[in-house]
Structure 1
Amino acid sequence: MEGGERSVCIERFADLAAQVVKSPAKLGPVRLVAVDGPSGAGKTMFAAGLTRVLRANGAATVEIHTDDLLDGWDDMVGFWPRFDRDVLEKLRKGQPGEYRRYDWHAARFAERIRVPVPEVLVVEGVTSARAVIRPELTLSVFITAPRHLRLARGLERDGAHLEPHLVRWFAEEEGHFAADRTADHVDLLVDGAPDVPLDPGEQYLRRTAAGGRSGER
């Protein structure tokens, strides 16, 4: 997102969880929440906070990370038909799904993970709020953070030896987000590098732009 005044607001996961539960299910009986955004922006922390509050409030919630679905570094976008067939299509029918978890250390798929039919399914990861699933999302979130900070986080998390993979990944996700216009269509834009004091386990920083619904800074 370029230009325009930006406003910020500290909000609570408790309020967001209540909003999700009160909203209608659009994926069959399931309320589908997508937490999207570039690598290293803070998606995992946000999804964990929302999932924890949903469960604490009694909502049967399953959390899936797209990193567990990919067939390695070259599968950022292409995994979706497999995910839709094995998990989403089953849940649409009120049936449990399952997927094979990818083992990044062994570079192969590992055990099968069963996905029961939940009240809320939180899918966290790059491309999770892509255009094809928008009509079935109860809530879509896009997390942002400056590129240099995201790269530093990624190297700290994954190791400096993976920098070439991360740099290539950054370029690919930027291309996807530009073509998909993901950030322009989400319900909630969150600052993954807040410059105001907050409790990251209970709160997040909503960021909006004047004259637009949302976008990436």
Structure 2
Amino acid sequence: MELAAAAARPATVLIDGPSGSGKSTFADRLVAGWSDATSSPALVRLDSIYPGWSGLDAASAAVATDLLVPRAAGLDGGWRRWDWTHDAPAEWHEVAASQPLIVEGCGTLSTTSASVIAIRVWIEASDAVRKPRALDRDAGAFDAHWDEWEAQWRRYVEREHPSTRADVRVRSD
């Protein structure tokens, strides 16, 4: 019975990997190519949830607790946007349990998140490719924070081993 109920739930896709590896591009292409015309997926980007440049762990925990765990139980979930301009929490976004979901961002494949029924994707690129890609993408806004972000990313990887949880691995060099 539990397996049948899980199979009836809409797809959830989790996309993780280091900054500049191509997660956003992959997610955009996945949304564009979604073949279920009856229900397009919600796309949640952790960039919209991180509470500031030191917020990787907080956003990873929030998306698991508030969005993914409720959906795994067949309930609606949600997430709170972080207002980067005002450095404060902003509006709540609800995602119906009946809607397919794609979540992308650094910290998506935490222990809790990866335990929900989902397709888990790991995207990677060499450091030589991803740093210039990330800094170019953000037009200077990320430059002063790269080292801080990279340090917390490496702590997350050491603690959570997210790549080992992936069902699909993509190299984007």
When normalised by structure 1's length, the TM-score is 0.68
1:158 aligns with 2:145: no
In 2, the alpha carbon distance for the partners of 1:75 and 1:28 equals 34
Instruction: Report the RMSD for the aligned CA atoms in angstroms.
Output: 2.5
Matches of 1:161 and 1:31 in 2, distance apart?
34
Show the counterpart of 2:48.
68
Q: CA offsets per residue over residues 13-40 of structure 1, 9 Å max, x none?
A: xxxxxxxxxxx87598343211000001
Q: Whose strand fraction is larger, Structure 1's or Structure 2's?
A: 1
Higher helix share: 2
**Could you report, residue by residue, the CA deviation over 1:95-135 in whole angstroms, capped at 9, with x for unpaired residues?**
33332211223322222222222442111001111222223
Matched, 1:104 2:84: yes
Please show how residues 3-22 of structure 1 align to structure 2 within 5 Å.
none
Q: Any residues of structure 2 matched to 1:197-216 within 5 Å, and which?
A: none
**2:121 touches 2:168 (CA, 8 Å); kept in 1?**
yes
1:54 aligns with 34
Contact 1:28 1:93 in 2 (8 A): no
Does the aligned pair in 2 maintain the 1:36–1:129 contact within 8 Å? yes
Contact 2:68 2:116 in 1 (8 A): no
Which 5+ residue runs of structure 1 have no aligned equivalent?
Answer: 1-23, 194-217
Deviates further, 44-53 or 34-43: 44-53
> How many positions carry a matched residue from both structures?
170
The 3 A distance-change label for structure 1 pair 28 and 66 is farther
Quickly say closer, same or farther: Cα 1:134–1:85, change in 2 above 3 A: closer
Structure 2: runs of 5 or more not aligned? none
1:86 corresponds to which of 66, 84, 97: 66
User: Which has the larger Rg?
Assistant: 1
User: 1:77 is paired with a residue of what secondary structure?
Assistant: helix
Quick one: distance in 2 between partners of 1:160 and 1:25? Answer: 46
Asked whether the equivalents of residues 41 and 144 of structure 1 are also in contact (C-alpha less than 8 Å), the reply is yes
Moved more, 109-118 or 142-151: 109-118
1:117 — aligned with what?
97
- Deviation (angstroms), 1:45: 0.6
Following superposition, the deviation at residue 184 of structure 1 comes to 2.1
1:158 to 1:148, Cα distance in 2 relative to 1, 3 A:
same
| Residue matched to 1:209 | none
Supply the distance in 1 between the matched residues of 2:79 and 2:7 (Cα, whole angstroms).
18
SS of equivalent residue, structure 2 residue 57? coil
Secondary structure class of the residue paired with 2:115? helix
Q: Percent identity?
A: 25
Partner of 2:127: 147
What TM-score, normalized by structure 2, do the two folds share? 0.83
SS of residue paired to 1:101? strand
